[in-house]
Structure 1
Amino acid sequence: MTPRTAGREGTAGWLLRRALRREPYQLARIGGWSVLEAAPAFLIGHAVARAIEDGFAAGRPGTGFLWLAALGVAWLVAAVAARQIVLAVAAVAEPFRDDLLARVVHGAVRRAAATAGARRDSAAVTRAGLQVELARDAFAAVVTTVRGFAFTVLSVVLGLLTLAPGAAALVLPPFGAGLGLFLVSLPALARRQRAFLVADERLAEAMTATMGGLRDITACGAEEREGDRLAVRVAEQAGAARALARVTAVRTAALAVGGWLPVLLVLAGTPWLLRDGAGAGVVVGALAYVTQSLAPALGGLVQGLGVSGVRLAATLERIAGAAPAERPAAPLLRPAGAEVRLRGVTFAYGPHSAPVVAGLDLRVPEGEHLAVVGPSGAGKSTLAALISGLLRPDAGEALVGGVPATSLDPSARVLIPQEAYIFRGTLRENLTYLRPGAAAGGLDEAVAALGAEDLVRAAGGYDAPLDPAALSAGGRQLVALVRAYLSPARLVVLDEATAHLDPAAEARVERAFARRGGTLVVVAHRITSARRAGRVLLMDGPDVRSGSHDELVRTAPLYADLVGHWQPEPVS
């Protein structure tokens, strides 16, 4: 990929081209069915002309009705084709939606990781999700509209040229002028639509912020000032709406020139057409082409591109601009081993916050089982995120196998948080998510090692559909733990990942991971987790010390206090 190509990747145009190129079979389906759907547009003028001239005007009503029946059959075939086109367009639009949604979520996660501790707009992803839905609907509408317009116009042109070339000379020039007028106005429409979307978003953000601070605004007597601030946003939105409406008026002019001026010209040119040999039926047929096919097709294009197309362009521009490029800034690296080493690591949530981790030096040799304990807010989950590379140290370095944790290939480590992620799909898909194509024997072994046999039976087997909402919190954790056990990662970080399991199940899980090999870091939820570990890391903000369970009970009052407050449980 050249730098120029890389720079274009992710733009609105690139996203649209990718969506269309990825489903060539569906595009071929759309084209084939569109030929059948456009059959009435070609047949209508000929059928009307022949029904009049060869049928009713000639005293043969049966012939006239046969021509009209043929047109009716063509409409029935077109209805069947229209249904198939809707299905094919959906098959193109849904992957497009999935791409956009993945891009939005990926960008939101990366921004959240890059701005850890900063104030986050919790509604941003929701707004982006709504934009994705708008883009999907607009994309489907544009594909349907442009396709229908192109096939209809081609059919009408062929019909006019074969029925009455003189009428084609009267119809096609003003139609082309109206189409050109509309296409010329599209860039301005897109700009005004984007400006309206931006103004609308700013007003929504301002309203949300105001509603969230009504008590403080009232307490400070700032109602008038806040009202003035919102009035500015309302005025901006109103101005953008008026500007959009002015440009939108061009659509009416385009329809008048391209859709209805041809009717006037055909009517005015009827004497000339009759002198040229065309019969009355041919004139009526030409008018049928314009009023029943050409004008509606132009109206559909103006409405489709003027609304859905402009909205699609503006929305894609917003999504492409809001989501960072998916390629990482630096290549992901495979570590030589799974040793964890922190050198002078400091991290704080925000430039003015006290460090949660300060100058921490830590070495966890490959193969060691480390338990991390401490009071709530001591920095345990922060340490887990630093080791996993989800957070970047403000100072110092966090290495895994000699590789910076933030540059680590995701397959080299796995982090399981307390709230396990389970998705809709089969149980097998959930369990093998980090190791697709895992052998059946390996899957059975992992399930047995972690004691998940009952869960598999209750779910109905590996290939049964899994509803995350139907699982208990412990069941969701067990699914995520089997997934981590099956993964190729040599570093496993469990951040209270067994909190919803009973003590016996927790002991079985931790022993299984210890036997699995590699490096195991457990943010302990129970005292038994600390006792099972080879070493315990006690965290209390910047104050960190390590040792065995027995050593810390004797030498660390905080640890002894934590042990006393933990629920006593028998060592399994």
Structure 2
Amino acid sequence: MTLRWTGRRDGARAGRRGGARAEAARQATRAEARELLWRAARRRPGVLVRLFAWSLAEAAPAFLSGQALAHALDDGFAAGRPATGLAWLGLMAVAWLAAALGARQVLLAIAAIVEPFRDTLLRRVVAGTLYRTAASGMRPDSAALARLGRQVELARDSFAAVIAVSRSFLFSVTGVLVGVLTLMDAVLPLVLLPLAAGLALFSASLPAMARLQRRLILAEEGTASSVAAMVDALRDVTACGAEDRVAAAVGRDVTRQAEVAKALSRLTAARMLSLAVGGWLPILMVLVATPALVRDGATAGVILGTLTYVAQSLTPALGGLVQGVGVNGVRLVVALERILSMGPAPRQALAADGPGTPPRGALLRLRRVTFAYGPAAEPVVSDLSLVVREGDHLAVVGPSGIGKSTVAALAAGLLRPGEGQVLIGGVPVASLSGPALSAARVLIPQEAYVFRGTLGENLTYLAPGRSPSELDKAVDAVGMAELAARIGGYEALVDPSELSSGERQLIALTRAYLSPARLILLDEATCHLDPAAEARAEEAFAAREGTLIVIAHRLTSALRARRVLVMDGVRAQVGTHEEMIAASPLYRDLMGRWEDPVASGA
């Protein structure tokens, strides 16, 4: 009994600690979200000034509508001066024209705030996903990335809506209250008190809305994930006769989403109540108090102007706030929490190591490096020590799946070893980030990346400011002059979908050749080129200043290299071609089975 009770007590403590950590993480995420929104709002002060100025113009009818109607009635038509009444109505029309122009400019100002905010979130999502993928060694979850992209768009739209309705509410309500006060100060409490009560009711309902909105987003993601998994495995489900079981599992996710959506819709009644109290109750109170107001000196124009203020400006502004903040505001908070809770951005994850000292040269050193894809997995690289001196040319060979690409990723800093250390130029790769890491090394993978843009932009992506003559020299060295001419020159637009895999590799290779990095890692980066083109590209990099490491696709790469690293799953051996022929049975076997494609006429 004692052991059981102790276990429960320890479990309870652990549960409390876990809950406390989760709550602390949520608080930190919310604080980061607030800071992110604040930075987005204040990033461009000039835009805020424009937004304020045009919001005044847009809110002009909120102040002038009641005044114009009151004066048009009392000083104009009721006093037998129709021209005065028409003049006041004309002034109100001018105010509406100014509001229309202001509304257009307000939208442009809001766009200037929210579009950079969207770009920041997208960079956060994409960079964070790439960092976590590289750190874990797992393939990226494209479905999760797509869902996060949807959250980014949702956050952008919600942020724009919140800015629009909050600004409109503040300016409109200020105009209404000032206008009512100038008409007759005794009317102000009849408008202000119900408005305050409605806002209090609305504020009280926001936490529950946020919780339900968060649950709804999670339920939607769960349904989307289960449906996608079901579609992908539909053939296997049918073959195993598991249709009913899978349908029941997906049905539970659909039911859960529907229940949360119903609960959220029921909470809409709270929004309607706050709108009724803050927006419609003032009209009723003014009408009920009209006899007393008339006895105190209120004119028909004052009563009509007050009702116009409330019905035309206050109620729509409050309705926009309730709808905008109650729906879009909650969605914004939840979407930001979902985006920010997916893990630290690379900048934050590497902050603990600091920017580090810039590498001194391109000497690559691996010190007893061990790496496994997961805590319980067998190491892919085990206790590997390797020195690649500056100016060296190393080829890495071995059977497929032996860990050659893992070594390249470790050397490039895309993967972090479980044990050991990787240094470039005497500096730990783990301490480098951003431009410092890009300037130290370039890794070209098997699937080369080419983006939509001009050919020159693609080639100088890692080396901006290169002159046309420098581009010509690199293009000629790597062997893509014919491709550059066929595309139409450096100013021609490139459509990646119209290029073959080999053409994309040539562009990526030339981009790496132009980069300032002195350590070049080619991870089967020439596998889609013919042997002659591959030889020309590798010879260009070998003649280039710096260090070259080639993950060999063809064994001709080993013949061209100064040294060869042979990975056989038991140990790694390094030496010249002749030394490896003598020392490595695997290398002898690989060479014995291989026939030179150039010599054989292939």
What is the TM-score with the length of structure 1 in the denominator? 0.89
Paired residues, number: 565
What amino acid does structure 2 have at the position aligned with 1:198? L
Aligned equivalents of 2:488, 2:106: Cα separation in 1: 38
Aligned equivalents of 2:528, 2:247: Cα separation in 1: 48
> What SS does the aligned partner of 2:359 have?
coil
> What SS does the aligned partner of 1:390 have?
coil
1:364 and 2:394 matched? no
Residues 134 and 312 of structure 1 are in contact (CA less than 8 Å); yes or no, is this contact kept in structure 2? yes
Residues 552 and 559 of structure 1 are in contact (CA less than 8 Å); yes or no, is this contact kept in structure 2? no
- Give the deviation of 1:257 after TM superposition: 0.5
What amino acid does structure 2 have at the position aligned with 1:558? D
- Give the deviation of 1:494 after TM superposition: 0.9
Equivalent runs, 1:500-515 vs 2, <5 Å: 500-515=528-543
Residues 129 and 140 of structure 2 are in contact (CA less than 8 Å); yes or no, is this contact kept in structure 1? no
Q: Corresponding residue for 2:9?
A: none
Q: Corresponding residue for 1:487?
A: 515
1:433 and 2:461 matched? yes
> What SS does the aligned partner of 1:322 have?
coil
What amino acid does structure 2 have at the position aligned with 1:435? A
> What SS does the aligned partner of 1:278 have?
coil
Tell me: CA distance 1:345–1:169, structure 2 relative to 1, closer, same or farther (3 Å).
closer
- Give the deviation of 1:498 after TM superposition: 2.5
Q: Corresponding residue for 1:64?
A: 85
Aligned equivalents of 1:79, 1:200: Cα separation in 2: 38
1:382 and 2:406 matched? yes
Q: Corresponding residue for 1:244?
A: 264
Equivalent runs, 1:149-168 vs 2, <5 Å: 149-168=169-188
- Counterpart pick for 2:63 among 27, 31, 42: 42
Equivalent runs, 1:270-281 vs 2, <5 Å: 270-281=290-301
Deviation readout 1:346-365 (Å, 9 max, x if unpaired): 43434555543344343322
Tell me: CA distance 1:210–1:448, structure 2 relative to 1, closer, same or farther (3 Å).
closer
Aligned equivalents of 1:495, 1:403: Cα separation in 2: 22
Mean CA deviation greater in 207-216 or 47-56: 207-216
> What SS does the aligned partner of 1:269 have?
helix
Equivalent runs, 1:366-515 vs 2, <5 Å: 366-408=390-432, 409-410=436-437, 411-438=439-466, 442-457=470-485, 461-463=489-491, 465-515=493-543
- Counterpart pick for 2:121 among 97, 100, 113: 100
Residues 555 and 591 of structure 2 are in contact (CA less than 8 Å); yes or no, is this contact kept in structure 1? no
Residues 173 and 314 of structure 2 are in contact (CA less than 8 Å); yes or no, is this contact kept in structure 1? yes
Q: Corresponding residue for 2:564?
A: 536
CA RMSD in angstroms comes to 3.0
What amino acid does structure 1 have at the position aligned with 2:361? G
- Give the deviation of 1:377 after TM superposition: 2.7
- Give the deviation of 1:172 after TM superposition: 1.7
User: Structure 2 stretches of 5 or more lacking a match?
Assistant: 1-24
Q: Corresponding residue for 1:128?
A: 148
Identical pairs, percent: 57
What amino acid does structure 2 have at the position aligned with 1:477? Q
User: Structure 1 stretches of 5 or more lacking a match?
Assistant: none
Residues 389 and 407 of structure 1 are in contact (CA less than 8 Å); yes or no, is this contact kept in structure 2? no
- Give the deviation of 1:196 after TM superposition: 1.9
- Give the deviation of 1:233 after TM superposition: 3.5
Tell me: CA distance 1:505–1:231, structure 2 relative to 1, closer, same or farther (3 Å).
closer
Mean CA deviation greater in 17-26 or 437-446: 437-446
Aligned equivalents of 1:414, 1:304: Cα separation in 2: 47
- Counterpart pick for 2:598 among 557, 568, 572: 568
Deviation readout 1:362-409 (Å, 9 max, x if unpaired): 332221111223343333222211221212334444333344444344
Residues 531 and 597 of structure 2 are in contact (CA less than 8 Å); yes or no, is this contact kept in structure 1? no
Equivalent runs, 1:301-312 vs 2, <5 Å: 301-312=321-332
- Give the deviation of 1:122 after TM superposition: 3.3
Q: Corresponding residue for 1:266?
A: 286
Equivalent runs, 1:506-525 vs 2, <5 Å: 506-525=534-553
Deviation readout 1:45-98 (Å, 9 max, x if unpaired): 122222323333344444433332332222222112111111111111111011
> What SS does the aligned partner of 1:123 have?
helix
Tell me: CA distance 1:317–1:273, structure 2 relative to 1, closer, same or farther (3 Å).
same
Tell me: CA distance 1:156–1:458, structure 2 relative to 1, closer, same or farther (3 Å).
farther
> What SS does the aligned partner of 1:420 have?
coil
Q: Corresponding residue for 1:110?
A: 131
Q: Corresponding residue for 1:184?
A: 204
Q: Corresponding residue for 1:257?
A: 277
Q: Corresponding residue for 2:17?
A: none
Tell me: CA distance 1:49–1:454, structure 2 relative to 1, closer, same or farther (3 Å).
farther
What is the TM-score with the length of structure 2 in the denominator? 0.85
Aligned equivalents of 2:482, 2:91: Cα separation in 1: 65
Mean CA deviation greater in 458-467 or 77-86: 458-467
Tell me: CA distance 1:63–1:469, structure 2 relative to 1, closer, same or farther (3 Å).
farther
Residues 103 and 323 of structure 1 are in contact (CA less than 8 Å); yes or no, is this contact kept in structure 2? no
Aligned equivalents of 2:52, 2:422: Cα separation in 1: 55
Q: Corresponding residue for 1:331?
A: 354
Aligned equivalents of 1:259, 1:428: Cα separation in 2: 59
> What SS does the aligned partner of 2:353 have?
coil
Residues 29 and 337 of structure 2 are in contact (CA less than 8 Å); yes or no, is this contact kept in structure 1? no
Residues 414 and 491 of structure 1 are in contact (CA less than 8 Å); yes or no, is this contact kept in structure 2? yes
Equivalent runs, 1:53-92 vs 2, <5 Å: 53-92=74-113
What amino acid does structure 1 have at the position aligned with 2:408? A
1:27 and 2:48 matched? yes
